[in-house]
């Protein structure tokens, strides 16, 4: 079993984590290493759920914070092993998010007496379908491990800035129907693809809203991500399906988001296939954390696991080293300066 | 080997042909039987090309006509063996087009001294891709067998009416381009599916022309047969392809048909994937044939092998027993009355 030295420099620890491959579904080795390293620390109680690891302090502090990061990565793309160059750690998962995991592990090991109780969560299967998500599994199987938290920090790459809340997601199929006919006698049918022009034009004309919450602007989105029509080369299609994806501000509920999309397409068949609410930024609930972390908070427009904490009633924000636009790229890296900055600022806050 | 009795009644002969299965690619047995039956007739010279059979008279007449029919059928659909009920022959290929083949075989056997020379063509692989078409193969490999023809009768089902000429076909992909982006930041991209609304609306607004030739109205068509866009559920699509199918009057050349479609979509990428010209009705060139066949000629809106004759400079028309809308259906049949009417009228014309 690989042994992780949590007293090592954060750069060395990041590289050690990158060099422990952990594509989604293959996190056993890295979870073993993380579990063993944390179990050696007397101030932490360590639990395992699948290939996720939870470590808690129990110091009787009046407040408790969760610090969480996922252990898995997307598949390798010729970017192993790690290497250090230009003051950056390069390699699979360096940005998303072994740099953030290294920072959290360093804090777990080196801040035995924090000002608030802490729950560290290192979890599996974030990069795959939601049903496999390790954080979701802990919440479902061992909810007590996440209880009594007042706020959560998810160490997703955010360029060492604070990204607060996240937008919700809605997916729907808009089905336009017609009548089949042979194209040699097309006038005997009704071309569903032609009728879909109105749906696509309405999407093109639509101006998404901009919703300001806690001073942060959540810019919504609504658009087609797929169009499918076609029976055969000589048949007038009787169905055209326009799949739309909506990103909605965290102030809207799932029901409101659905009603909004349906309201734009009266008279059409609208089949909502997925709707996941976002997470409010909750900046007023996290106290001095944002001030200590320094940067001006930004709204998170993508969906992240902060929404899982929001669903548990825990305000959460994204804060971690690495440029989020490098996530899932073969050339991903994390700047050494951001690793150090994140570790220093969080340590300052914890003390 | 099955023996065909060409002196039998046309109903019995139709049933015998239906009971000789000949799905496209599997015509060897039926071609053997047809070849043997025709070779026994002293007034015909018989040739074989693949599983197609050509039989010619050489009586020194000033004019020559081709009478052609395909031997193959679509796959069986629980509709074998043949059966006679309600004065109809039921079964695979009864309508498309073993009834027509039976009529032609009866004429070949029973009219040894026609008023014009005749070339009978019974060919393979009409129901599959054009490259395998037996008539096309004969034209390519043994063009002499089709030479010196003044007109052609293709015995495709036409409800015992005359369907003259056929329309051309053009297929094209209209490609609309945009720029990819993550849907969480959709405004950074350009949604190609949204932009395709204009293409689809233009198709919906378009009124195809009606072209009158020799008194027959060819009603053209232009429409989408497929729309494809989509990269992933969270990606703004950068490409939307609208596949259009055009049916154009036989008075337009392939080049004119292509220019017409391109002219409707200036500024768009238009990729023409197939263009096959139609066949002019040529009613003035077929002499008294239409008058003898009796029914008022109709324009053929679908594409048929008459266009292959037109490409050889031979005017051709569709004339055969059976309702063309029953072709390729499990319940296809051919009315006995139409079998007899087609045989009688053609015999009258040949004598």
Q: Give pLDDT tens digits for B238-292.
A: 999 999 999 999 999 999 999 999 999 999 999 999 999 999 988 888 778 888 8
The reply to whether A4 falls in a domain is: no
Mean of pLDDT values over B58-71: 96
Give the chain A residue whose CA is nearest to the CA of B273: A233
Q: How far is B55 from chain A (nearest CA, A)?
A: 33
Give the chain A residue whose CA is nearest to the CA of B188: A221
Identify the pLDDT of residue A86: 96
A246 DSSP β-pair partners: A170, A222
Residues of B (171-230) whose Cβ lies below 8 Å from A: 171, 182-187, 191, 193-201, 203-204, 208, 219, 221-230
Chain B interface includes A161 (CB < 8 A): no
Identify the pLDDT of residue B196: 98
Give the chain A residue whose CA is nearest to the CA of B248: A184
Which chain A residues are closer than 8 Å to B193 by Cβ?
A: 200, 203, 223-227, 242
The reply to whether B4 falls in a domain is: no
The residue out of B216, B248, B276 marking a domain boundary is B276
| Predicted ipTM of the assembly | 0.82
Residues of A (257-316) whose Cβ lies below 8 Å from B: 301-303
Q: Using an 8 Å Cβ cutoff, are A281 and A333 in contact?
A: no
Mean of pLDDT values over B87-95: 97
CATH number at residue B206: 3.30.70.360
**pLDDT of B233 over the 90 cut:** no
CA B316 to chain centre: 12
Q: B180-184, B206-210, B257-261, B337-341: which range is least confident on average?
A: B180-184
Q: How many domains is chain B partitioned into structurally? A: 2
Q: Using an 8 Å Cβ cutoff, are A348 and A106 in contact?
A: no
Q: What is the DSSP letter of A128?
A: S
The reply to whether B254 falls in a domain is: yes
Mean of pLDDT values over A218-238: 94
Catalytic hit among A96, A117, A126, A323: A126
What burial class does residue A3 get, using C-beta atoms within 10 Å of its C-beta: 0-12 exposed, 13-18 middle, 19+ buried?
exposed
A68 DSSP β-pair partners: A121, A154
Question: Which site among B227, B232, B303 would you substitute to test the A interface, given the most A Cβ atoms closer than 10 Å to its Cβ?
Answer: B227
Mean of pLDDT values over B72-79: 92
Q: A26-40, A188-202, B152-166, B285-299: which range is least confident on average?
A: B285-299
3-state secondary structure chain B: CCCCCCCCCHHHHHHHHHCCCCECCCCHHHHHHHHHHHHCCCCCEEEEECCEEEEECCCCCCCEEEEEEECCECCCCCCCCCEEECCEEECCCHHHHHHHHHHHHHHHHHCCCCCCEEEEEEECCCCCCHHHCHHHHHHHHCHHHHCCCCEEEECCCCCCCEEECECEEEEEEEEEECECEEHHHHHHCECHHHHHHHHHHHHHHCCCCEEEECCEEEECEEEEEEEEEECCCCEECCEEEEEEEEEECCCCCHHHHHHHHHHHCCCCEEEEEEEECCECCCHHHCCCHHHHHCCCCEECCCCCCHHHHHHCCCCEEEECCCCHHHCCCCCCEEEHHHHHHHHHHHHHHHC
The reply to whether B3 falls in a domain is: no
Q: Give pLDDT tens digits for B146-156.
A: 988 999 999 99
Identify the pLDDT of residue A295: 75
- The torsion angles phi and psi of B301, rounded to 5 degrees, stand at -90, -30
The residue out of B216, B245, B276 marking a domain boundary is B276
Catalytic annotation present for B209: no
Identify the pLDDT of residue B130: 83
B118 and B247 housed in the same domain? no
What burial class does residue B271 get, using C-beta atoms within 10 Å of its C-beta: 0-12 exposed, 13-18 middle, 19+ buried?
exposed
Which helix H or strand E contains A197, and what residues bound it? helix A192-205
A42 and A155 housed in the same domain? yes
B77 and B17 housed in the same domain? yes
Identify the pLDDT of residue A196: 98
3-state secondary structure B73-120: ECCCCCCCCCEEECCEEECCCHHHHHHHHHHHHHHHHHCCCCCCEEEE
B183 and B308 housed in the same domain? no
B98 and B36 housed in the same domain? yes
Q: Which domain holds residue B30?
A: 10-165+279-350
B146 and B47 housed in the same domain? yes
Question: Which site among B168, B176, B194 would you substitute to test the A interface, given the most A Cβ atoms closer than 10 Å to its Cβ?
Answer: B194
Catalytic annotation present for B179: no
The residue out of A276, A310, A342 marking a domain boundary is A276
The reply to whether A5 falls in a domain is: no
**Measured between alpha carbons, how far is A155 from A93 in angstroms, rounded to an integer?**
13
Q: What is the DSSP letter of A94?
A: I
Which chain B residues are closer than 8 Å to A275 by Cβ?
A: none
Mean of pLDDT values over B210-227: 95
A172 and A189 housed in the same domain? yes
A340 and A218 housed in the same domain? no
**pLDDT of A181 over the 80 cut:** yes
The reply to whether B146 falls in a domain is: yes
Whether B233 sits inside 8 A of A221 (CB atoms) is: no
Helices and strands, number each (H, E), in chain A: 9, 19
A207 and A301 housed in the same domain? no
Binned at pLDDT 50, 70 and 90, residue A231 comes out as confident
* Separation in Å, CA A94 to CA A269, A306, A333, B286: 44, 21, 5, 80
DSSP characters over A298-336: EE--S--THHHHHHTT--EEEE-SS-GGGTT-TT-EEEH
CATH number at residue B130: 3.40.630.10
**Measured between alpha carbons, how far is B286 from B318 in angstroms, rounded to an integer?**
12
B190 and B98 housed in the same domain? no
B311 and B204 housed in the same domain? no
Whether B183 sits inside 8 A of A221 (CB atoms) is: yes
**Measured between alpha carbons, how far is A128 from A137 in angstroms, rounded to an integer?**
13
**pLDDT of A166 over the 80 cut:** yes
Of A201, A222, A227, the CB nearest to B240: A227
> Pairing relation of β-strands A298-299 and A239-248?
unpaired
Mean pLDDT estimate for chain A: 95
Q: How far is A214 from chain B (nearest CA, A)?
A: 20
* Separation in Å, CA A338 to CA A13, A82, A227, A346: 14, 17, 41, 12
The reply to whether B23 falls in a domain is: yes
Residue A150: strand, helix, or coil: coil
pTM of the model: 0.83
What burial class does residue B285 get, using C-beta atoms within 10 Å of its C-beta: 0-12 exposed, 13-18 middle, 19+ buried?
middle
A304 and A341 housed in the same domain? yes
**Measured between alpha carbons, how far is A102 from A11 in angstroms, rounded to an integer?**
8
Q: What is the DSSP letter of A87?
A: T
Identify the pLDDT of residue A301: 84
The reply to whether A234 falls in a domain is: yes
Mean pLDDT estimate for chain B: 95
Our CA dihedral for A133, A134, A140, A146, rounded to 10 degrees, sits at -130
- The torsion angles phi and psi of A27, rounded to 5 degrees, stand at -95, 5
């Amino acid at each position: 079993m690989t042994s992780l030295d949590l007293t090592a420099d954060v750069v060395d620890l990041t590289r050690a984590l990158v060099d422990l491959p952990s594509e989604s579904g293959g996190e056993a080795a890295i979870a073993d290493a993380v579990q063993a390293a944390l179990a050696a620390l007397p101030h932490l109680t360590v639990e395992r759920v699948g290939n996720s690891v939870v470590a808690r302090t129990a110091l009787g502090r009046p407040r408790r914070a969760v610090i969480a990061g996922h252990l898995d990565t997307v598949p390798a793309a010729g970017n192993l092993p790690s290497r250090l160059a230009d003051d950056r750690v390069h390699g699979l998962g360096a940005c998303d998010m072994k740099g953030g995991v290294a920072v959290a592990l360093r804090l777990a090991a080196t801040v035995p007496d924090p000002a608030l109780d802490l729950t560290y969560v290192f979890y599996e299967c974030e990069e795959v379908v939601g049903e496999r998500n390790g954080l979701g599994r802990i919440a479902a199987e061992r909810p007590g491990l996440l209880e009594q938290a007042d706020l959560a920090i998810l160490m997703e790459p955010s360029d060492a800035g604070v990204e607060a809340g996240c937008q919700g997601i809605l997916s729907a199929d808009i089905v336009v129907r017609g009548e089949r006919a042979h194209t040699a006698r097309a006038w005997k049918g009704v071309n569903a693809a032609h009728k879909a022009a109105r749906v696509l034009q309405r999407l093109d004309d639509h101006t998404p809203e901009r919703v300001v919450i806690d001073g942060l602007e959540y810019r919504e989105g609504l658009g087609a991500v797929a169009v499918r029509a076609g029976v055969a080369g000589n048949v007038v299609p009787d169905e055209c399906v326009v799949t739309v994806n909506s990103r909605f501000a965290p102030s809207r509920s799932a029901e409101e988001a659905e009603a909004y999309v349906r309201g734009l397409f009266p008279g059409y068949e609208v089949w909502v296939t997925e709707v996941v609410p976002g997470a409010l930024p909750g900046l007023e609930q996290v106290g001095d954390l944002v001030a200590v972390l320094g940067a001006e908070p930004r709204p998170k427009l993508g969906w992240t696991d902060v929404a899982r904490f929001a669903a548990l009633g825990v305000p959460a924000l994204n804060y971690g080293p690495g440029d989020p636009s490098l996530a899932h790229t073969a050339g991903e890296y994390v700047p050494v300066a951001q690793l150090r900055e994140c570790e220093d600022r969080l340590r300052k806050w914890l003390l």
